[in-house]
Amino acid sequence: MTVYEGSPRGQGVRVAVVCGRFNDLITERLRTGALESLRAKGVDDASIVEVWVPGAFEIPLAAQRLASSGEVDAVVCLGAVIRGGTGHYEFVAGECAAGIARVQLDTSIPVIFGGLTTENVEQALERSQPDASNKGAEAATTALEMVDLLRQLPKGER
């Protein structure tokens, strides 16, 4: 039996981090967590591209451009959609997640959903703390693990 498993190694990995500016109190914290995680796992600063878009809805388009460029091995997508009094939350969160999934499948590049979809600001602050519960750091680690895993797997037709 052959078993494949990725490891979050950062040496030689080029990563783009796409952040939504909307709810930047939260996304700044996610960004910090992601960058700290990438650096701790050996990704060189020169191998990190940081891109800011207006909000979560715009993240998939920037991710698609980056993933298609051949310049990065993975894209980490960070945003924060906090439920309000209207249906806007469902549209933005769902379309952002679907767009990111589509980009990942269309490009065969890991495009990681590091977006928060919370009921309130308190939940978002909890999930973006500068500790082990930071979802930006978790997304960055996932990106590196997927890059390593895909490098091991047999290549399919594109």
Residue ranges of domains in the chain: 20-152
pLDDT, tens digit, 9 for 90 and up, residues 29-75: 999 999 999 999 999 999 999 999 999 999 999 999 999 999 999 99
Is 23 among the catalytic positions? no
CATH number of the domain at 20-152, please?
3.40.50.960
Report pTM: 0.95
Catalytic residue among 4, 25, 69, 88: 88
CA distances from 5 to 37, 47, 63 (A): 19, 24, 25
Residue recorded with tokens 């309000």:
84
SS (H, E, C) 2-51: CCCCCCCCCCCCCEEEEEECCCHHHHHHHHHHHHHHHHHCCCCHHHEEEE
